Amino acid sequence: MIQQLLATKSHMTQAWTASGVRIPVTIVNAANCTVVDMGKKDDRIVMGQGVKKLKNVAKPQRAQLEKNNVKTGFVKMREIVATAEDKTTLTPGTVMTPSQVFHIGDIVKVTGVSKGKGFTGVVKRHGFKGGPRTHGQSDRERAPGSIGSGTTPGRVYRNKRMAGRAGNEQVTTLGLTIVGISDSTGEIMLKGIVPGARGGVLTLTKTGESIFEGLLNAKTEEVKESAQPAEATSEQQA
């Protein structure tokens, strides 16, 4: 089975593990992930995510959908990795649910486009320390400093860290754990943060498996709350 799925970033929240530890959680929506095309490469298929009207899809993508008899448009269409077995079992129009690809405890890497921050200086963009604050250097606090020597090489080397546009680039976050899955809503709960703004399209890739103790449910919470007064009473009597 395929090891990748497309999803849309929804929002961040918090949750508690079965042992009562609070963890940051990002909710991503992987509903309506549909196989669109079997792709031109042997190890790739095209998948669409985020339903929209077919008439609102760009003409090249609309032609691709119509060619494969897919009646729905998608916000984003991307190639994902697939094996030869996947290409024989899947057909255009097949809808993938999150539980068909991932399980609770799976470790995934998430690829997306980071938030754009516009034109920024070297302190914000690269973490430079800046110049001295004393001895008349009042206007050099956030300056980059020297960018090269004189006669040799007589130029600025390529890829020098300087001011410029920050963010708005592809970023991959590794080692995130899946702590919850819902096929009915298509939501996947990830422990940690993922790149990009709300509504950004992400690619989730399974990289490993681990054992997750599970999230604290309401029943367990009630048991803990009812046990606290009894413990306090026994301590007072002692």
pLDDT score recorded for residue 226:
42
pLDDT in tens, 220-234: 444 444 444 545 444
pLDDT score recorded for residue 86:
83
Q: Please state, in angstroms and as integers, the Cα–Cα distance from residue 179 to each residue in 91, 108, 190, following that order.
A: 30, 11, 6
Residue 65, pLDDT above cutoff 50: yes
From the list 176, 196, 181, the residue with the least C-alpha distance to 10 is 196
Alpha carbon distance 91, 34 (integer Å): 10
pLDDT in tens, 77-118: 999 998 888 888 888 888 999 999 999 999 999 999 999 999
pLDDT score recorded for residue 41:
78
- Identify the structural domains of the chain with CATH numbers, from first to last: 4-116+169-237 (2.40.30.10), 117-166 (no CATH)
Mean pLDDT for the stretch of residues 174-197:
94
pLDDT in tens, 135-172: 888 888 899 999 999 899 899 999 999 999 999 999 99
